[in-house]
Amino acid sequence: MNLKGRSFLTLKDFTSEEIGYLLELAADLKDKKKHGITGNSLKGKNIALIFEKPSTRTRCSFTVGCVDEGGYPEYLGTNDIQLGHKESVEDTARVLGRMFDGIQFRGFKQETVEKLAKYSKVPVWNGLTDEYHPTQILADFLTLKEQFGKLEGLKLVFVGDGRNNMANSLMIGASKLGIDFTILAPEALWPSNELVAQCKEYALQWNSKITVTKDLLAVKDADAIYTDVWCSMGEEDKAAERIAMLKPYQVNKELFEMTGKESTVLLHCLPAVKGYEVTEELFEKFADVIFDEAENRMHTIKAVMVATLGN
């Protein structure tokens, strides 16, 4: 499958087959790395890593993934370039596109990563925006595949802030890969009607279901429960309000027992605020799965770079 020259901005832009291909490539690259085999697919390639928001997994994954494949990554923080301040995003994109072969952006506005892709003329990868977090979804799905041997037919429930970038992106990805997906959240934190409708359209092709509800009983029969921090970056001033609103939706032993299954696993994109969205007891019970998921950020991000830019 040829994805050369493509940007990776949202899973909306990729077919089920293309997402599946990226997951297979990631699994292959992971296996090779475990056996001490790295590549040179990115030899001679220079990668710009733009970060408006700090990161552990995204920065390390792009850096290690790039180096593993023979490329050179350059970190560009908010104080390193003039992006959107003294220079427009459009002009910064045109400059970086002349000097780098690919650009990663992690920041606030989806509009910024879209402009970078439009004006740079090189592949641009979304490392997170306020709307979407597509590279995380690949890591999540690779982890689910490792746990269950399949994706189609699984039931995945996201519990927490149902309109954040993780809930949005999981819904898009699940609807394209035949996963029954539920967002469990208070009504004030439900995703947009437009995105739900769009994902239901995708799901029709796979005979899967998309559900948005505030009923805790929705976790019944879940194969995996997913949670995330209650306050995304940039929303710290809403912490008290969110805690009050989401306390009933904490992922804890009682909620897990409501699944009625012994095989249910917990996923978390990290960092976790234990004692809030998830209890420490439950987090530690599933730590091996959660940190497999964290490691899989590197393998899936490497796959995206190799597929869209590599030789």
106 an active-site residue?
A: yes
Pick the closest to residue 169 from 152, 156, 153 (CA basis).
Answer: 156
The whole-number average pLDDT for the span 254-273 is 98
133 an active-site residue?
A: yes
Does position 84 have pLDDT exceeding 80, yes or no? no
Q: Is 153 left (phi over 0), alpha (psi -120 to 50) or beta?
A: left
Which residues is 189 bridged to in the sheet? none
239 pLDDT band, cuts 50/70/90, is: confident
165 annotated among ligand-binding-site residues: yes
Alpha-carbon 185 to chain mean position: 19
Instruction: Delineate the domains of the chain, giving CATH numbers in brackets.
Output: 11-133+297-309 (3.40.50.1370), 136-293 (3.40.50.1370)
43 pLDDT band, cuts 50/70/90, is: very high
Work out the mean pLDDT of the chain and round it to a whole number: 96
Active-site annotation holder among 6, 242, 268, 297:
297
Contact 224, 154 (CB under 8 A): yes
Orientation angle between helical segments 134-148 and 165-176, nearest 10 degrees? 50
- Rg over alpha carbons for the chain, rounded to the nearest Å, is 19
Active-site annotation holder among 133, 242, 268, 299:
133
0.85 surpassed by pTM? yes
The count of other CB atoms within 10 Å of the CB of residue 262 is 6
136 annotated among ligand-binding-site residues: yes
The count of other CB atoms within 10 Å of the CB of residue 99 is 12
231 an active-site residue?
A: no
Active-site annotation holder among 180, 228, 250, 299:
228
242 annotated among ligand-binding-site residues: no
Q: How far apart are CA 99 and CA 101, in angstroms?
A: 7
Active-site annotation holder among 68, 136, 161, 223:
136
82 annotated among ligand-binding-site residues: yes
58 annotated among ligand-binding-site residues: yes
163 annotated among ligand-binding-site residues: no
135 annotated among ligand-binding-site residues: yes
Q: How far apart are CA 167 and CA 256, in angstroms?
A: 19
Does position 238 have pLDDT exceeding 90, yes or no? no
Read off the pLDDT of residues 126-158 as tens digits, 9 standing for 90 and up: 999 999 999 999 999 999 999 999 999 999 999
198 an active-site residue?
A: no
Q: What percent of the chain has pLDDT over 90?
A: 93
Length of the chain: 311
Burial class of 174 by CB neighbour count within 10 A (0 to 12, 13 to 18, 19+): buried
Contact 147, 265 (CB under 8 A): yes
The whole-number average pLDDT for the span 83-110 is 94
217 annotated among ligand-binding-site residues: no
Does position 310 have pLDDT exceeding 90, yes or no? yes
- Transcribe the chain into DSSP letters: ---TT--BS-GGGS-HHHHHHHHHHHHHHHHHHHTT----TTTT-EEEEEESS--SHHHHHHHHHHHHTT-EEEEEETTTS-BTTTB-HHHHHHHHHHH-SEEEEESS-HHHHHHHHHHH-S-EEEEE-SS--HHHHHHHHHHHHHHHS--TT-EEEEES-TTSHHHHHHHHHHHHTT-EEEEE--GGGPPPHHHHHHHHHHHHTTT--EEEE--GGGGTT-SEEEE--SS-TT-GGGHHHHHHHHGGG-B-HHHHHTT--SS-EEEE-S---BTTTB-HHHHHHTHHHHHHHHHHHHHHHHHHHHHHH--
Active-site annotation holder among 59, 68, 104, 106:
106
110 annotated among ligand-binding-site residues: no
Active-site annotation holder among 66, 199, 231, 269:
269
